[in-house]
């Protein structure tokens, strides 16, 4: 089973050296993948706006800039987004950023994509929230065209590229892995028809129907004439937040619990799990050194118990 970590942007508060030190440690410990979240801005709660899921001042570093910084101080670990909100971004520019990062990292990028949920963020970036699903599907086609065609010619409902060139191409061309995050039927369909894998967030619901979600993705792949066995599946190992429940807050400090949850996900068909290091921070690991120690203990436990 592949082991990923979701990088905690909060470490920037200790300085840029701390960001590099944590990334380097995850590479040396032996994790397979280092992923980072993506939001450009977060909305304050105001009248007429849906209540935000997270604090407005939650620290989130820009994904491509941070991954480029981490690529320079790591040598082996895969790098990725979990997930990049693609319909908020220009897909041609995103293709260029991804191709450059993949080139400079030696082909280590995995691009996790999602449609997001925060309408106020779309508004702040001047993008249409209501048609984000349709634009997402088309933007994925634009990415693959930019990574493989020369000249690039694409004309869709929302995007048009005519007789253009983009260099460098990513080392793997259009085969640069794209994974889809999200639990909606549309996300599962998108993962099966257009992507190379699906990312889920562990929750009581996922533990009940994760195998059904995987089966749905594979069915959509087969219907699209694709090989369902070639798809990858990753789930974040994290209990849902429940205010006042101390056992959830300490989840990541208990390797036995984390290993049991990961094993259950493996039984359901997931071939990768992601550890959210912000969970270690919330459990009391408030320094980079403490996070490294906690991540090393979890890695040792999971490698010993998971196939």
Per-residue pLDDT in tens (0 to 9) along the chain, 307 residues = 999 999 999 999 999 999 999 999 999 999 999 999 999 999 999 988 888 888 999 999 999 999 999 999 999 999 999 999 999 999 999 999 999 999 999 999 999 999 999 999 999 999 999 999 999 999 999 999 999 999 999 999 999 999 999 999 999 999 999 999 999 999 999 999 999 999 998 777 888 899 999 999 999 999 999 999 999 999 999 764 455 555 578 899 999 999 999 999 999 999 999 999 999 999 999 999 999 999 999 999 999 999 7
Co-location of 112 and 133 in the same domain? yes
Co-location of 159 and 141 in the same domain? yes
Residue 92 within any structural domain of the chain: yes
Co-location of 161 and 95 in the same domain? yes
Co-location of 287 and 250 in the same domain? yes
Q: What pLDDT does residue 204 have?
A: 77
3-state class of 33 per DSSP?
strand
d(CA 142, CA 56): 32
Co-location of 1 and 46 in the same domain? yes
Residue 58 within any structural domain of the chain: yes
Co-location of 58 and 110 in the same domain? no
Co-location of 118 and 75 in the same domain? no
Residue 230 within any structural domain of the chain: no
Run of H or E including 78? strand 78-81
Residue 97 structural domain: 85-176
Co-location of 94 and 171 in the same domain? yes
Residue 209 within any structural domain of the chain: no
Q: What pLDDT does residue 203 have?
A: 77
Q: What pLDDT does residue 244 have?
A: 56
Residue 195 within any structural domain of the chain: no
Co-location of 275 and 295 in the same domain? yes
Residue 186 within any structural domain of the chain: no
Co-location of 124 and 93 in the same domain? yes
Q: What pLDDT does residue 243 have?
A: 54
Give the chain's domain count.
Answer: 2
Q: What pLDDT does residue 48 have?
A: 86
Q: Which of 155, 176, 197 is the last residue of a domain?
A: 176
Q: Which of 176, 195, 221 is the last residue of a domain?
A: 176
Phi, psi values for residue 240, rounded to 5°:
-65, 145
Whether the upstream peptide bond of residue 166 has omega within 30° of 0, thus cis, is: no
d(CA 83, CA 304): 28
Co-location of 31 and 77 in the same domain? yes
Q: Which of 176, 194, 226 is the last residue of a domain?
A: 176
Residue 222 within any structural domain of the chain: no
What are the structure tokens assigned to 70, written together?
Answer: 């981490």
**What is the b/e burial string over 107-124, where b = at least 16 CB atoms within 10 angstroms of the residue's CB?**
ebbbbbbbbbebebbbee
Co-location of 257 and 280 in the same domain? yes
């Amino acid at each position: 089973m592949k082991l990923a970590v979701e990088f905690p942007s909060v470490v920037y508060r200790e300085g840029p050296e701390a960001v590099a030190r944590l990334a380097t440690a995850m590479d040396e410990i032996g994790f397979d993948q280092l992923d980072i979240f993506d939001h450009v801005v977060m909305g304050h709660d105001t009248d007429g706006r849906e209540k935000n899921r997270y604090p407005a001042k939650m620290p989130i570093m820009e994904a491509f800039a941070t991954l480029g910084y981490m690529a320079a101080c790591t040598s082996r670990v895969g790098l990725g987004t979990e997930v990049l909100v693609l319909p908020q971004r220009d897909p041609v520019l995103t293709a260029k950023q991804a191709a450059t990062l993949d080139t400079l990292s030696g082909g280590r990028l995995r691009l996790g994509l999602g449609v997001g949920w925060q309408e106020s963020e779309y508004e702040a970036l001047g993008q249409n929230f209501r048609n984000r699903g349709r634009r997402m599907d088309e933007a994925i086609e634009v990415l693959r065209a930019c990574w493989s065609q020369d000249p690039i010619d694409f004309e869709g409902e929302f995007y048009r590229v005519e007789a253009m060139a983009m260099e460098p191409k990513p080392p793997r061309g259009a085969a640069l892995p794209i994974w889809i995050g999200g639990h909606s039927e549309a996300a599962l369909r998108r993962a099966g028809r257009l992507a190379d894998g699906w990312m889920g967030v562990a929750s009581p619901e996922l533990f009940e129907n994760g195998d059904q979600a995987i089966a749905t993705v594979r069915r959509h792949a087969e219907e699209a004439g694709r090989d369902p066995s070639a798809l990858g599946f990753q789930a974040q190992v994290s209990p849902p937040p429940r205010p006042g429940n101390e056992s959830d807050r300490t989840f990541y400090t208990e390797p036995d619990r984390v290993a049991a949850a990961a094993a259950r996900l493996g039984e359901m068909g997931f071939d990768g799990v992601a550890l959210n290091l912000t969970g270690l921070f919330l459990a009391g690991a408030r320094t980079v050194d403490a996070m490294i120690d906690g991540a090393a203990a979890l890695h040792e436990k999971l490698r010993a118990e998971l196939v």
